[in-house]
Structure 1
Amino acid sequence: MAADDSTALREPSARETELLDAAYAYVLEQGLSDLSLRPLAGAIGSSPRVLLFLFGSKDGLIRRLLARAREDELAWLQQYDARALDLPDTVRHLWEWLAAPEHDRLLRLWVEAYGRSLVDPAGPWAEFAAATVEDWLRLLGRSGDADPGRRTLALATLRGALLDLLATGERSRTTSAVTLLATLLEEG
């Protein structure tokens, strides 16, 4: 375990939780790629020294922010019961959540972390992409569809449509593509 992972072994203080929540709100607006402790600290009413004390390092803070984003995603997934839906209906339901404008900031952060995980696998992003693929494949598997190829096709289409939606804002077109996939999955 890295030195700056020690914060995961203890219960966070109220101040640490408060600053993490504020930092999370900040990165949802600003992103993580150009994160600098001084502007972050100023924006959330802290100092770089306090952030380093509480989170161990900038990488430690990024790990905690990524964990927080994943917690938000998983909280939604846990309340969603895919077992009652077949794979096509699961795809439709997931897309409804992914395409909702109120999730854009979280999903942009997810895309940023996913991409960084692929190009910087040793950094604080390590394994983020692989972990989220497993999360979504597990959810799609709860639909009862035993074919890993069909679940992977569903995930790849959802992820591609999401990237396209975030890039273009074209909800109607991307929703049509996901709806077509769901229809094709129903047919065979």
Structure 2
Amino acid sequence: MPPRTANPSTRQTELLEAAYQYALLHGLTDLSLRPLAEAIGSSPRVLMFLFGNKDGLVRALLERARAEELALLDGLRRPEQPVGLAVAAQEVWAWLAASEHRPLLRLWAETYVRSLVDPDGPWAGFAKGTVEDWLDVLAGCQPQAERDAEQGAVRRTLTLAVLRGALLDLLATGDESRVTAAVRRQLALLDGVDQADD
């Protein structure tokens, strides 16, 4: 039976949100329907009925996590007045470094890795999709001439590499002040290169 997500019921929406909060605390790698259902006041049978199977539930949870990530990214899009890569990256880093976002970011890192080692599972395409999402948003933060220039994609890729590397360091160490100082330093260098190339 396919998951019933085209027009989710109120109950499906409530259970998805509860399951998402559970996944933020416990991750998805070892997700088991019975403990999840018990924790959110449901049953494995109901979850199977609403989401089709465990993979359907995992896909719905990944879509929910991605929606939160995309909400941040969409807030950076200002096509009429692009903020530039350095400013956009600083805004993104401030959000990434906030301690209240660590559960979501741990879930993101877990899913990113899972999509690389299990490309046929419910996480299929997650890593590639998230790279494309972020590069697309960063492109929208560049002035048109920079975006279209040959080096525009290189600058976006470097900016994303700085943010992703710093995020993994922060998740591993929790050393927000050291990592933030490094991010600021590297973004200033990237910004200097951008200005020198203009």
Length-normalised TM-score, structure 1: 0.94
- Write out aligned runs for 1:1-188 (5 A): 4=2, 6-8=3-5, 10-81=6-77, 83=79, 84-144=82-142, 145-146=146-147, 147-188=152-193
Hey, what's the Cα distance between the residues in 2 that align with 1:129 and 1:165? 19
2:170–2:179: 8 Å Cα contact kept in structure 1?
yes
Deviations 1:135-182 (A, max 9, x none): 110111112242111110110110010000011001111111111111
When the two chains are superposed, the root-mean-square deviation of aligned CA atoms in Å is 1.2
- Secondary structure of the 1:7 match is coil
After superposition, give the CA deviation of every residue in 1:50-77 in whole Å (9 maximum; x if it has no partner). 1011100000000000000001111122
**Aligned residue type for 2:50:** L
Q: Return the alpha-carbon distance in structure 1 between the equivalents of residues 16 and 89 of structure 2.
A: 32
Stretches of structure 2 that go unaligned for 5 or more consecutive residues are 194-198
SS of aligned partner of 2:30: coil
Q: Structure 1 residues 187, 79: CA separation in 2 closer, same or farther (over 3 Å shift)?
A: closer
Take 1:138 and 1:22, find their aligned partners in 2: how far apart are those partners? 30
Percent identity, please.
59
- TM-score normalised according to structure 2 size: 0.89
Q: CA deviation at 1:82?
A: 5.1
Deviations along 1:118-145, one digit per CA (max 9) or x if unpaired, are 0001000000111110111011111224
Runs of 4+ in 1 over 4 A off after TM superposition: none
**Distance in 2 separating the partners of 1:82 and 1:140:** 11
Are the counterparts in 2 of residues 98 and 162 from structure 1 also a CA contact under 8 Å?
A: yes
Is the partner of 2:158 in helix, strand or coil? helix
Task: Tell me, yes or no, if the aligned pair for 1:140 and 1:151 is still in contact at 8 Å.
Answer: yes
- For structure 1, the 5+ residue unaligned runs are none
Give the distance between the partners of 1:56 and 1:14, measured in 2 at CA.
17
